[in-house]
Structure 1
């Protein structure tokens, strides 16, 4: 019988002593590896690093000043254009305005990322200089990631003296959101309160009407009148001056080039803390959710197994980095007179030390158009006017000047044609190549490819290494030419990739892509993607009631919520009452996850009620249940288009007003309170 007392084992022989010594030596050897001996070489990464990356690192060692006033003085700049941008639109407009201010008035302009400078140094900008703020608002009145430090400053600093600051401001927003252009309004109010002088009224763009470009042009026209009439700036003859040099580097080898790899590094701390690195993720499974043969909705499951540094939580987003379709690449190459086989290396360098060349370099023209520039983006009326100076013939020049100068003519053409850069060049000059159009102008004019974000529709508790997304494939017919369509860049790329992994193997509209990616990086059904943290989260207590409202693919995060709660109930947790409102166009064709929802409703055994709202089928109100659950402390979630979310909030707010006899002030106080407590959360777009 074993003794109940455990004693220490003592060595009884020389062999025992030697064995114990050997064990101790091996343990010490293992534990000190990498600390005392076999230290990793801190420069080993250079063996695998491209030469241009070492050049970038060397430049980074020369730390740039974060004092904006000092920066302006050092580089002889008399105007600073601050930008706050989430998707790249405000940044693009700021760069365009900076170039035009220089070309039209000879002004020396610094286009400044707000996250690159300490906001308190704005107070040091002398009165002789001008500041322009171009800032976007997204979500529920939120500032862009790169505006976070500035936003904190204007909210938390007290007694900031800005008597010397003269400024103008332009905001980008969407009136479908409840807090339309809140960021620029708050910024202007704060600057005015600190004693700054606005040189013209704040102007705003409204993307709900698709009017951002025209709103910007109208504001810019007023801005230039102020420049001339109030500030006495003389207008000079406009002559194109490139911001970047593009040089052929035929001596470089393929190994030294960027071939489309995404070497993106998050520019500011907030983005770095919320976004994972970009990785090539394998598509594990893809499933068609629509019954209709005319439309597609994909459920795509991705595999994180090869990337131990990637993790997500229920409610987070997954960003997909798209590539351009072959057809659009060929169209632009044809217009420029460049062969697809032209792989001559080029180097892109900034001609202004204050301007960062964000295009990976060296690369090739074909790679540039395939992976780094949004060549499928519509061309603005202003861009058409600017293209006229490079026209290959007087006829083409006259056509572009007429089209760009007539808003109605341009708008009408948009209803019948999809005006990308390649298409407008061929439309204006179908028989002559644009040999005088500098590649630098293409780089300056086209936005860089940005990722598209999708709500993750899986639960991290149930599927920690297999996040899934749900995406409707965008195909928008032109108003006056319904046989022509504008194809959503990312969703059609995903459809082509999804089909390549199945028996169909082709895109329904014949779109093709270089699906294996740069240097075969994406071979085997992979995409470049990263994860982004979200605040759209389940309550900590499973017993908290939930109200969920989703339209179309807005159902995605709620599938994650419901499957996670079902798992909690399965292991014995008390789960609160749940009410899900789901809407789509047609219950026969568009009711995604119908089978799964019906099964969840059965498993929850009365804890979950699903209320469908189909646009083509009459429904009934459940506002009484909603108000009851709100009073019981429910969390309220809305996911879908911003205008839908706005209508839902309005309906619930009006019902609360009537029920409680509130006035506007009381209703607004209640609304702010539940949002501040995260009892009302939204994940909305467009």
Structure 2
């Protein structure tokens, strides 16, 4: 926004000077300036003013404001946990005593003792809390939740605006804490996939709220300075990993194409553990980009600005590498409606048309949008400014670093389908299937996931349920257990369409079974029999033995599709526990919840 005499307290000369200065400042310079002005104002206030009449100071009443801050996170893939831990470090560097904990590890009865609470939580599936936030969410929304009149809080909510219930869990925590009497230190911030900048702004607001409560002023926390001269590869600074292998795991005649991709991490310094994921920044299909350029009659070589830092690229390159063009979201359509002025688009977004809008968003992309609601009469720069940045795709790592030093292996199912009169392709999966060759590079980073980890005790039995590409992390588990000589029993349930063409990593599993690294394996190939058989059917067939393993302390891991498979496997586990343990449905639910609390029931679902 341009400062003017009419919309600011500055005179014309001051406004012009500020308008020239502010766009040239970096984020760190803006943060420093904000802190400097705040500190100067505080010093002036303390030196010239007294406490207003009738409002005794904290010193005169003996009241002390706690510098203890509790940060609770609910995280499915690790993003919220990483942000919570980073927030904790920044606050500790500025003199606060910080406790960072998963919601599942926090004793809810201690909540009434907390004065400063920060919630960092993602939303999973269709508006659901992450697995490790379920019990705390249930407690807070139940009758046993305490009054929290002394609590100050703030919520950072992560989500994906292409889903209907965007950031729903964060919104629910924010509203409930207020209902219980809590006061906001800083307003809730809802983050889309590209969460770095809004999360940094939230931290600034939280720090200001905490500092104000202390009656002190200080510059907001700064980003950590780089350590030495070694580049630290991360989500915002990905490593370009060379492709070593790219193979199709499915046999001839299969309905599927599953790629096994091996990448080199040599020289990156990146490490990971079984259960972690890798983030891959893909490129859009050049053919789709060319269709979009043709439709809009844009010059592919036009130079456009791609980010707030002012980096520029030719338009075609920008559309291939920097922006998401295959997914439509409601916020995108709302911004597009403002740009185009198209009445039909405004009508689609109007109140009462929610179901029609939901139907339109499903399966369509930016090319559909510009075709359906043109002509646009806007520049390329104007249109790309409303697009989301290209989000990374997360894949469960399918290898052990101990077994394959300096390498990481991925198992990627190719996505192809037809809808709304056009063939559609998964951005990353079809890049790997059709265009990625050995010697090429992929920008990657490691996503640590503490919510999907092998037991600390190598003698603890494990049960793994992973149909299709859900097999990936369990290949990592087995490689690790083989390397470390773990003695605990292991049982795999795997499923796919056909035994002959779709038994992913078949030889490896059979060798592990022969060598005793894998104790038991049960498979379900749904298209090989008249009646479809799935992994949950195999689990029911072995319900007595499976429950015995649970009673022995086995940890259960599920990886794969959340909506259907993971839901059905969860219900099957409850049936088995109820039947074999002679329990009521409520007792079975408690049994599984207790397993989850002990980290003996973990899911990596999508």
CA contact (8 A) 1:320 1:451 kept: yes
Extract unaligned runs of 5+ from structure 2.
1-23, 43-64, 89-98, 173-221, 227-231
Q: 1:177 to 1:142 in 2, by over 3 A?
A: farther
Equivalent residue number for residue 399 of structure 1: 344
Equivalent residue number for residue 394 of structure 2: 453
Query: Which of 315, 321, 329 matches 1:371?
Result: 321
Residues 1:525 and 2:475 aligned together: no
Equivalent residue number for residue 427 of structure 2: 489
User: 1:293 Cα shift?
Assistant: 5.6
Query: Which of 556, 559, 569 matches 1:639?
Result: 559
Extract unaligned runs of 5+ from structure 1.
1-53, 74-117, 124-134, 220-264, 349-356, 502-523
Instruction: List aligned pairs for 1:175-190, cutoff 5 A.
Output: 175=126, 182=134
User: 1:663 Cα shift?
Assistant: 4.6
Residues 1:609 and 2:563 aligned together: no
1:205 and 1:458 map into 2 onto residues whose CA distance is 28
Instruction: List aligned pairs for 1:64-83, cutoff 5 A.
Output: none
CA contact (8 A) 1:566 1:603 kept: no
Residues 1:677 and 2:598 aligned together: yes
Residues 1:139 and 2:60 aligned together: no
Equivalent residue number for residue 32 of structure 2: 62
1:650 and 1:463 map into 2 onto residues whose CA distance is 36
Secondary structure of the residue aligned to 2:279 is: strand
RMSD of aligned C-alpha atoms? 5.1
CA-to-partner distance for each residue in 1:14-66, whole Å, 9 max, x for gaps?
xxxxxxxxxxxxxxxxxxxxxxxxxxxxxxxxxxxxxxxx9748627727559
CA contact (8 A) 1:384 1:403 kept: no
2:319 and 2:81 map into 1 onto residues whose CA distance is 27
Number of residue pairs aligned between Structure 1 and Structure 2: 471
Secondary structure of the residue aligned to 1:564 is: helix
Equivalent residue number for residue 626 of structure 1: 546
1:604 and 1:212 map into 2 onto residues whose CA distance is 46
CA contact (8 A) 1:582 1:611 kept: yes
Equivalent residue number for residue 249 of structure 2: 289
Q: 1:583 to 1:603 in 2, by over 3 A?
A: same
- Superposition TM-score, scaled by structure 2 size: 0.63
1:65 and 1:191 map into 2 onto residues whose CA distance is 37
Residues 1:303 and 2:267 aligned together: no
CA-to-partner distance for each residue in 1:331-359, whole Å, 9 max, x for gaps?
443455421122x36485xxxxxxxx4x6
User: 1:383 Cα shift?
Assistant: 4.1
User: 1:589 Cα shift?
Assistant: 3.1
Residues 1:324 and 2:281 aligned together: no
Q: 1:446 to 1:543 in 2, by over 3 A?
A: same
User: 1:679 Cα shift?
Assistant: 2.3
2:122 and 2:473 map into 1 onto residues whose CA distance is 30
Residues 1:466 and 2:407 aligned together: yes
Residues 1:195 and 2:137 aligned together: no
CA contact (8 A) 1:584 1:614 kept: yes
CA-to-partner distance for each residue in 1:467-522, whole Å, 9 max, x for gaps?
101000112332xx5x6333211111222333x45xxxxxxxxxxxxxxxxxxxxx
1:628 and 1:266 map into 2 onto residues whose CA distance is 51
- Superposition TM-score, scaled by structure 1 size: 0.57
2:304 and 2:295 map into 1 onto residues whose CA distance is 20
Secondary structure of the residue aligned to 2:242 is: strand
Residues 1:561 and 2:454 aligned together: no
Query: Which of 369, 379, 384 matches 1:424?
Result: 369
CA contact (8 A) 2:464 2:474 kept: yes
Secondary structure of the residue aligned to 1:193 is: coil
Query: Which of 484, 503, 512 matches 1:600?
Result: 512
User: 1:532 Cα shift?
Assistant: 2.1
